[in-house]
Structure 1
Amino acid sequence: MPNIVFQHADKRYDERAERYVFRDLNLHIRKGEFTVLVGPSGCGKSTLLRMIAGLESVSGGDLLFDDLRVNELPPVKRGVAMVFQNYALYAHMTVYDNIGFGLKIAGLPKAERHALIQDAARQLQLEELLQRKPTQLSGGQRQRVAIGRAIVRKPSAFLFDEPLSNLDANLRAQMRAEIAELHRKHGVTTVYVTHDQVEAMTLADRIVVLSRHGLEQFGTPDELFDTPANLFVAGFMGSHRMNLVPVDETHAQQLLLLTGQSTGELAAAGIGTIGARPEDIEVVDGSAASVQLVERLGAESLVHFAVGGSLTPLCALSTDRSIAFGQARALRVPPHKLHRFGPNGQRLAP
């Protein structure tokens, strides 16, 4: 279970061009930690995972497992196991043979191999499916087989590349719980790529937020949600997007409603953008905002409010089911719940 450390690491595909996937990346994934990589498509999440696995080279700097530099170490000698998005199972083999294939290639004795396969099957509730072929399994069962193939190798680190993206919502929730339980049981360093906010917030000890410009923030789910480092993280993290209101005259009425201050006062204080999460906006009696849209989510509704002449509505999460299109209400945010960002997009101290 190593610490996985990137020190001033670069990644680029064209050595002649100054186009980097990562440049001067410094990242320390702690031993036994469940780390989730999130970010928009094309930001390098899977590339970073494949660099750890040895499937992608490091163009510059160092990748360390504890104190061992592994830049040139081949994948088979890194002691990691990777679970892919498409399962990558052998269609002509049974579940039993798929799980044990790597052990067979490694020359493990048959009896020892059998014990490891049975143990993994027990953990993943696959005991009754061991003689089936992958085509006879559901998506969730196939993913369990792929995870079982990783477990039996007893790796020093698990690497998951969007393993649940092909499953429906109910199966995703079930598999999330199972992956979390496996991590609690084995305590192995785990790096997990996803585009799903709920997966990231549910599973992670710490989350790496990536953009096309590199690493934006690395911290616990609570840190990223409560104190986003910049506008990118503020807009990206959270199942309901944070309201981000630029400090300009177009948004003057929204700013006054949220903060009680004028555009000039906010600008003089060095504030470039005000942020407010929908969860933190209270819907109260009044007439400052007009209901533009109500998204019924079950116990809660995401309500879009038109305020002033701004084209961008303010969104609030409410349990009040009497709210309907066209109604007039007022909005209130506790001052300590507001997020303030400078003109450069960086978070400002309270």
Structure 2
Amino acid sequence: MAVDLAADNSGTVPVREGYRFDEPALARWMARNVESFAGPLTVEQFKGGQSNPTYRLVTPSRSYVLRRKPPGDLLPGAHAVDREARVQMALGAAGFPVARIHGLCTDDSVIGTWFYVMDLVEGRIFWDATFPQVSREERPAYFDAMNAVMAALHAVDPEKAGLSDYGKPGNYFARQIGRWTKQYQTDELAGRNADMDALVEALPALIPPGDETSVIHGDCRCDNMIFHPTEPRVLAVLDWELSTLGHPLADFAYHTLMYRMPPEIVPGLFGADLAALNIPSERDYVAAYCARTGRDGIANYEFYVAFNLFRLAAIFHGIKGRVLRGNAANAQAASRAESFPVLARMARESLEASR
């Protein structure tokens, strides 16, 4: 089934049934906690956001963004909006491009769940990884901007940024495989899958030697970046729900999945004529990151790709579970859930190729 990611995810709609909350209570909270806030307040819901419902807060002078935990029963440890707020505040102070956080609320009595409020950053989001709105001549600069953002994130010193306890250093792949295996196996409502079961069995024994730790985003794609309205420059990286301390090559290989992904699942370049579009090849894109980070290539790159496809399949399995439980934040979540077995198969094929 074809999915129009731009139409499905960009813009706002009236707040959907099941996601409404006490707007006057929010306005009172903002008056106490958000500098220069002045109502009246109008609330709209963004179409996008698979996991944490996201809202546009409109006032006469400016607009804000609210991210909240979804209502309903949640899996333990999921939807940690407090972590999202914390990492963005720390990275913003370190000079990394993120939206300014105005406040975090951990009092369920205000709107029913934890939430935070941040700036609405005006700019462009590209829902198509071919960047069709950009001229052929300009496209390399936009890809270079994404590449530079990834390298800049991985250059942030967690200790200096106040994030030394943001995750467990070391053994990232073993811990992540264990985490997503548990989440996959715990969500019985979403069911089991033979490809996922094979990955759960095989991945732990194939983890490459060596270890590194940096702040990682966990979901860094072109549609999670806001670009300058006219320039090839990233103004803010969005959606930090999966961020932690982890292996930078895992984070970068997730980002490069755009070269392997069918565009109907997430913004991807599979099947695109890169030369005609003037988009750098996957090999050249990896080389640019290596040059920026002082690496002499990436050994075991295909394992990192396979691991990320497994992790993404587990995430989509979780979306399937939320659809079945009736608390999926995104109106198009059902189509994402249908992609779960495709991703599981891709992950298994990639792992076999890496051997």
> What TM-score do you get using the length of structure 1 for normalisation?
0.24
Higher helix residue share: 2
> What TM-score do you get using the length of structure 2 for normalisation?
0.24
Higher relative contact order (CA 8 A, sep 6+): 2
Rg larger for: 1
